[in-house]
């Protein structure tokens, strides 16, 4: 056993070792990217199990993605054997779902079949509320209100507290607080939680029931959290609750807490994450100790020097310098393209060369070694088009989300209603989908009945079918009757089909499916058949409906596979009694509840391909957090794009963007490419932006510029990319600069002398290749924003042009 313990410590540097061996006081491991934070967390778990008499059931580890959780679990099992499977390793959301499900008996007016509403469901519900309260949807948009409510929830502010905190004459805030209260009321009536509730309601549960809190503290003697810099206030309080602050009356000591993070990689402020949690750790948790890691094991020194240079421009940060002893490696490759299409072509050609075994010999890479990052989801399109043409296999992580497609959501809504008939948002979504002649008016009558009687929307539908709802015509009564019959039929068939179980609540019996009967695939199939959904799509001539049909079939396949996997896991568990898995708070494998939970909690980052998939990975910079690849392309280094437009005037946002740059750069192990484009399609218009200031922050000797400047004149400012304003200053040509629309976009940075600024004064003549001869009639602004208005007469008339990047033609 000593041997095994020794092996667990092998290869760790002294700081890493100290972090693994540390016992007792709360521990913060702060370290830059690639310094082994996640590895140390994993090793620490293995060490606890192997050397400190800790049982797997006493461990709760929290990771940022489901995929990271699965990997950590596997690594621990590799290190300590199958008993590692008993640990709870999951995301904040999954952890909370387990606790809420296990304790659902303590949740007022909720049961364990609760639905989990995503952003789209929340907005639907908010839309209904805004309509029912007769509010102006322009003033109170579901999107805007949902952000406000989310902020409240991240701060653990209840509707009552929100209302109490409102300034008397702030009508808008008061209204939002009112919507918030109504939103919570309806969520509960629907037996539903939204994402933020999962955390907040767990905290509330632990506050309300100290004995439950103590139960989990007793159970989880070790709490470990990865990516601590991206926790929000609610998550922080949850951790505090789970760990316990001091020894309780019953003699229970606080659990051991170990968190790892890097303030420089905090990139989720827009989701309420706060760097405060990592910065104040030592104040929040008494006796806390801190371990610093500085040696990087991921990247070359060249890559690290670039990362250090960029992030050191942020102020108010704890200074740390990453270093490696693995050598300088290759220079970073820089490339300036004329257009995003050309940028993509460069990337494609470069990948072809990197993966060409015939010329590269040992330096050759596999497709799976390569990742391409972009600032926003739309960044994938141009690259995809070029990859398809070049035959480069790739996978886009996130972006086009299967579970967000309308038809998939429709069928999932049926599944949710079967599981949880109280789920009024899902119910109203499918009430007339596919169309069955239940109109808005009928729906409104049922809603009013539900409101007046306090019966759920589903119960109200049953009332309607029995003729007990006012103002419904006979046709509506009949159609609603048919719908209720359909749902009851599905519930009845799959209730008996899934078999009785020992759960006390009859409603939940079929959710805890048993191995011989459960098949979600059959349920999905029954839904698309009995509702006529499939028939309707098959009968359609619309090619879009063909694609929808494919997606429906894909969902059936996913559900079948899910059931088959569950049956397989069950068999394996039967074969090997040492694989003991903790099922507390988990729905039965293969059950409808388990399927719905997986569908609800699947996130972008969980779709990152594995090496075996043999594809280039494409994703946003945000999704790339925590990952590493031998070859990384970070695209779009343009001011106004990256850093994002909205950050240019806001120091806090700019710092966050810089952290994003730091995250992107530090994903690379061996080769890093930084590319930018002089013009980029944005909302269907080419926009020209100057070089990203972050790019300028990288010492130039680290970069091998393959191409620096666009061909001047031909494609530079003024031609296809010029900002051209028509008569009266209205935007008239497909131009990059668009001052009038709030998207600033200078064609060049005059300070760096890349492009020549032209000098024109009022009265000067100018011969434009396209507009012909004209005369300068007005001039305004200066430097990068200087623009002249030239009257070319004829059909061109007056156009306004930026002078910064040069204007084609002669003076």
517 is in an annotated binding site: no
Q: Closer to Mg ion at the Cβ: 91 or 420?
A: 91
From Mg ion, ligand ATP, none, interface partner of 39 (C-beta below 5 to 8 A by class): ligand ATP
Active site residue 37: yes
31 is in an annotated binding site: yes
Rounded least distance, CB 250 to Mg ion, Å: 36
Q: Which of 227, 343, 410, 638 is catalytic?
A: 227
Rounded least distance, CB 94 to ligand ATP, Å: 20
751 is in an annotated binding site: no
Q: Closer to ligand ATP at the Cβ: 265 or 460?
A: 265
> Is the Cα torsion angle 568, 571, 576, 581 positive or negative in sign?
positive
From ligand ATP, Mg ion, none, interface partner of 338 (C-beta below 5 to 8 A by class): none
315 is in an annotated binding site: no
Active site residue 401: no
437 is in an annotated binding site: no
Q: Which of 15, 16, 38, 58 is catalytic?
A: 38
Active site residue 123: no
Q: Which of 121, 196, 197, 226 is catalytic?
A: 226
CB atoms within 10 A of CB 321: 11
Q: Which of 548, 667, 671, 787 is catalytic?
A: 667
C-alpha dihedral, 14 to 18 to 19 to 22, nearest 10°: 170
Strand 679-682 and strand 685-688: pairing? antiparallel
Interaction site with ligand ATP (CB under 6 A): 11-13, 16, 31, 33-39, 262, 265, 297-298, 626, 628
Segment lying near Mg ion (by CB under 5 A), choices 501-509, 569-577, 623-631, 697-705: 623-631
Q: Closer to Mg ion at the Cβ: 63 or 479?
A: 63
Residue nearest to ligand ATP (CB): 36
Give the residue among 705, 702, 704 at the shortest CA–CA distance from 309: 702
**What are phi and psi for residue 697, nearest 5 degrees?**
-80, -10
Give every strand in the sheet of 370-374, ordered side by side.
394-396, 616-620, 370-374, 629-634, 668-677, 332-337, 703-707
Active site residue 103: no
CA distance 569 to 545: 36
Segment lying near Mg ion (by CB under 5 A), choices 35-43, 162-170, 669-677, 716-724: 35-43
Q: Closer to ligand ATP at the Cβ: 298 or 449?
A: 298
DSSP one-letter string for 203-247: HHHHHH-HHHHHHHHHH-SEEEESSGGG-BHHHHHHHHHHH-SS-
Rounded least distance, CB 58 to Mg ion, Å: 23
CA distance 287 to 256: 12
Site size toward Mg ion, by CB under 5 A: 3
Q: How many CA atoms lie within 13 A of 664 on its CB side?
A: 30
Rounded least distance, CB 626 to Mg ion, Å: 4
The answer to whether 626 contacts Mg ion (rule: CB under 5 A) is: yes
38 is in an annotated binding site: yes
3-class SS at 780?
strand
Answer for the pair 257, 245: CB distance below 8 angstroms, yes or no: no
DSSP tally for the chain: helices H, then strands E: 30, 21
The answer to whether 266 contacts Mg ion (rule: CB under 5 A) is: no
32 is in an annotated binding site: yes
Q: Closer to ligand ATP at the Cβ: 13 or 158?
A: 13
Residues in the chain: 811
From Mg ion, ligand ATP, none, interface partner of 380 (C-beta below 5 to 8 A by class): none
Q: Which of 63, 95, 265, 345 is catalytic?
A: 265
Tokens of 332: 């970073």
Active site residue 65: no
The answer to whether 670 contacts Mg ion (rule: CB under 5 A) is: no
From Mg ion, ligand ATP, none, interface partner of 215 (C-beta below 5 to 8 A by class): none
Q: Which of 16, 37, 669, 693 is catalytic?
A: 37
The answer to whether 103 contacts Mg ion (rule: CB under 5 A) is: no
Q: List beta partners, residue 631.
A: 370, 671
From ligand ATP, Mg ion, none, interface partner of 11 (C-beta below 5 to 8 A by class): ligand ATP
**Cα angle 483, 489, 491; round to 5:** 105
Tokens of 66: 């489901």
DSSP one-letter string for 40-70: HHHHHHHHHHHHS---GGGEEEEESSHHHHH
- List b or e across 200-218, with b for residues whose CB sees 16 or more CB atoms inside 10 angstroms: bbbbbbbeeeeebbbebbe
Q: List beta partners, residue 790.
A: 776, 799
Q: Closer to ligand ATP at the Cβ: 522 or 628?
A: 628
Output the known binding site for ATP: 31-38
User: Which residues of the chain form contacts with Mg ion (CB under 5 A)?
Assistant: 37-38, 626
Active site residues: 37-38, 226-227, 265, 667
Output the known binding site: 31-38
């Amino acid at each position: 056993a000593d041997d095994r313990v020794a092996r667990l410590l092998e290869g760790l540097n002294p700081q890493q070792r100290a972090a693994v061996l540390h016992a007792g006081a709360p521990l913060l491991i702060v370290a830059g990217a690639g310094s082994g934070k996640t590895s140390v967390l994993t090793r620490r778990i293995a060490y606890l199990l192997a050397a400190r008499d800790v049982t797997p059931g006493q461990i709760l580890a929290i990771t940022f993605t489901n995929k990271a959780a699965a990997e950590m679990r596997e690594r621990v099992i590799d290190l300590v054997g199958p008993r590692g499977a008993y640990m709870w390793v999951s995301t904040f959301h999954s952890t909370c779902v387990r606790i809420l499900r296990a304790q659902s008996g303590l949740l007022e007016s909720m049961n364990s079949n609760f639905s989990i509403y995503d952003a789209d469901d929340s907005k639907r519900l908010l839309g209904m509320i805004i309509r029912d309260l007769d509010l102006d949807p322009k003033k109170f948009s579901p999107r805007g209100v949902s952000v406000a409510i989310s902020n409240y929830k991240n701060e653990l502010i209840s509707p009552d507290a929100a209302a109490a905190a409102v300034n008397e004459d702030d009508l808008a805030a008061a209204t939002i607080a009112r919507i918030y209260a109504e939103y919570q009321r309806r969520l509960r009536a629907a037996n539903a939680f939204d994402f933020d509730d999962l955390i907040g309601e767990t905290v509330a549960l632990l506050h309300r029931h100290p004995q439950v809190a103590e139960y989990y503290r007793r159970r989880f003697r070790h709490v470990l959290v990865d990516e601590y810099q991206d926790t929000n206030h609610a998550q922080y309080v949850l951790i505090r609750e789970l760990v316990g602050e001091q020894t309780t009356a019953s003699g229970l000591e606080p659990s051991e807490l170990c968190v790892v993070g890097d303030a420089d990689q905090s990139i989720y402020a827009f989701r309420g994450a706060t760097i405060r949690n990592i910065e104040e750790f030592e104040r929040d948790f008494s006796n806390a100790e801190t371990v610093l890691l500085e040696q990087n094991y991921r990247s070359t020194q060249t890559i690290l020097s670039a990362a250090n240079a960029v992030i050191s421009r942020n102020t108010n940060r704890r200074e740390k310098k990453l270093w490696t002893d693995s050598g300088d490696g290759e220079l970073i490759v820089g490339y300036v393209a004329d257009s995003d299409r050309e940028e993509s072509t460069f990337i494609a050609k470069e990948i072809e060369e990197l993966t060409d075994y015939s010329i590269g010999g040992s330096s050759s890479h596999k497709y799976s070694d390569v990742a391409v990052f972009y600032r926003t989801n739309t960044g994938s399109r141009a690259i995809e088009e070029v990859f398809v043409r070049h035959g480069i296999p790739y996978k886009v992580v996130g972006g086009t989300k299967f579970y967000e497609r309308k038809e998939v959501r429709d069928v999932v809504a049926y599944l949710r209603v079967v599981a949880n008939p109280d789920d009024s948002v899902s119910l109203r979504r499918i009430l007339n989908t596919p169309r069955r002649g239940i109109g808005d008016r009928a729906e409104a009558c049922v809603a009013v009945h539900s409101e007046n009687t306090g019966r759920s929307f589903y119960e109200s539908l049953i009332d309607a079918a029995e003729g007990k709802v006012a103002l419904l015509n006979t046709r509506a009564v009949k159609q609603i009757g048919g719908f209720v019959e359909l749902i009851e039929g599905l519930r009845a068939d799959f209730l008996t089909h899934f078999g009785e179980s020992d759960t006390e609540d009859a409603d939940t019996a079929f959710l805890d499916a048993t191995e011989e009967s459960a098949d979600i695939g059959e349920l999905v199939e029954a839904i698309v058949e009995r509702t006529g959904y499939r028939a309707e799509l098959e009968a359609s001539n619309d090619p879009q409906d063909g694609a929808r049909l494919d997606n429906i079939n894909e969902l059936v396949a996913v559900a079948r596979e899910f059931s088959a996997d569950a049956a397989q896991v069950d068999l394996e568990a039967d074969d090997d009694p040492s694989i003991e898995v903790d099922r507390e708070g988990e729905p039965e494998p293969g059950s409808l509840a388990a399927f719905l939970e997986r569908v609800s909690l699947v996130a972008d980052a969980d779709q990152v391909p594995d090496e075996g998939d043999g594809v280039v990975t494409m994703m946003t910079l945000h999704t790339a957090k925590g990952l590493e690849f031998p070859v990384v392309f970070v695209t779009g280094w343009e001011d106004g794009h990256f850093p994002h437009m909205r950050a240019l005037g806001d120091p806090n946002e700019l710092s966050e963007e810089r952290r994003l740059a730091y995250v992107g750069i530090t994903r690379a192990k061996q080769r890093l490419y930084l590319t930018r484009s002089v013009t980029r399609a944005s909302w269907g218009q080419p926009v020209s932006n100057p070089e990203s200031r972050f790019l300028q922050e990288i010492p130039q000797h680290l970069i091998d510029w393959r191409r620096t400047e666009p061909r001047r004149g031909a494609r530079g400012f003024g031609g296809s990319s010029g900002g051209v304003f028509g008569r009266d200053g209205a935007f008239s040509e497909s131009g990059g600069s668009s001052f009038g629309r709030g998207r600033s976009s200078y064609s060049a940075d005059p300070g760096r002398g890349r492009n020549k600024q032209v000098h024109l004064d009022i009265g000067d003549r100018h011969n434009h290749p396209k507009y012909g001869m004209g005369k300068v009639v007005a001039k305004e602004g200066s430097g990068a924003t200087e623009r002249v208005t030239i009257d070319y007469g004829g059909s061109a008339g007056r156009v306004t042009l930026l002078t910064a990047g040069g204007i084609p033609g002669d003076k």
